[in-house]
Amino acid sequence: MIMKGKKGLIVGLANDKSIAYGIAKACHEQGAELAFTYLNDALKKRVEPIAESFGSEAVYELDVSNPEHMETIAAKVEKDFGKIDFLVHSVAFAPKEALSGDFMKTTKAAFNIAMEISVYSLIDLTNRLEPVLSDNASVLTLSYLGGPKYIPNYNVMGVAKAALESTVRYMAVELGRKGQRVNAVSAGPIRTLAAAGIGDFKAILNWNEANAPLKKNVTIEEVGNSAMYLLSDLASGVTGEVHYVDAGYNIMGMAAVEKNADGKTVFCWDGQK
C-alpha cells in the first residue's frame, strides 16, 4: 500500500462530508496511521467516531487562533506518534457577512480574521510542528479557484485563498532546503459545512457541472485520492504546486456553448440547453 508506514495529522476535519474526510479515508485505505484535531466540543462529538472508524485514538483539540492550543500541539503529536510524515491543513474561515454582498464593503476585522485563520495558520502550524515532521514530510493545504479568479460571493475568502497559494510557493522554497514539500489541492465546489456559508452556492454548483469538461462536480473521494498522491512518496518530486481537482473547470475561458434545436448557439447553464 502506498502510505503504509506513514503517519499524519489531519487538521480541520468537521464531519464525514468534508474534504478532509475524503483525504483521511484515502490515506487510511493506503495504510497510513492518522491523528485528528477538532475545533470545539460540538465538533469533538463528530470527529472522535470518525477517528475511531480509521483505527485512531489520537484526537486533539485545536483552535488555530488559541495560543495555548498551538503551543501544545507538537508535544501531543510527539507523545502519540513520535515523528509524522504528513500534515493536512483544512482550515478556513471568514465571518458570514463577508461572504455576500460587495467585496469592498469587507470590514478590516473580517479581513484580518479571514487571513489569520485561513492563511497564517498554515505557516504557524507548520512552524509549531516542525520538530516532529520527518525529513521528507509533506504538507498539504486546500484552496479554491476563487483565489486566482473571481467567483461570486466568495469575496474576502478569495483574497485569502490567493494569499494561501502564494504562501505555499514561499514555504516550498524554505521547506525544500530540508527535503520537505508543501502543495495545495484546489477542489471544485462540493457541498460541505464550509461551503454552506457562501451565498448562492447552489448556483455555483450548477454552473460548474454544466461547464466543466467532464460535465460533473467532483466528490470528496476524488479530491482525497489526488491529495493522497501529493502526500505520498509518489509525489516526491512535486512541491509548491496548486493541483486542480475540479472536473477540468479551471481550464475554461468562457462558458461552454452548444447548439439548440433551432441551431442557435446557447450557453450551458444548469444543464438546460
Q: What are the chain's domains?
A: 7-267 (3.40.50.720)
Catalytic residues, by residue number, are 144, 154
How many C-beta atoms surround the C-beta of residue 247 within 10 A? Answer: 18
Sign of CA dihedral 180, 133, 20, 24: positive
Q: How confident is the model at residue 268 (pLDDT cuts 50, 70, 90)?
A: low
Predicted TM-score (pTM) of the model is: 0.91
Phi, psi of 28 (to 5 degrees): -65, -45
pLDDT at 66: 97
Q: How confident is the model at residue 79 (pLDDT cuts 50, 70, 90)?
A: very high
Q: Enumerate residues 6+ apart whose C-beta is below 8 A from 189.
A: 144, 195, 201, 204, 205, 208, 217, 246
One-letter identity of residue 234 = L
* Nearest 10 degrees: Cα torsion 43, 245, 150, 114: 30
Q: Please state, in angstroms and rounded to a whole number, the distance separating the CA atoms of residues 90 and 24.
A: 11
The percentage of residues in the chain with a pLDDT greater than 90, rounded to a whole number, is 82
Q: Has residue 273 got a pLDDT over 80?
A: no
Nearest partner of 59 among 74, 77, 84, judged by Cα? 77
State pLDDT tens for residues 51-76.
Answer: 999 999 999 999 999 999 999 999 99
Give the 3-state secondary structure of residue 29: helix
State pLDDT tens for residues 214-228.
Answer: 999 999 999 999 999
Q: Which three cell numbers stand for residue 148?
A: 486566482
- Chain centroid to Cα 106, Å, comes to 23
Q: Please state, in angstroms and rounded to a whole number, the distance separating the CA atoms of residues 250 and 208.
A: 10
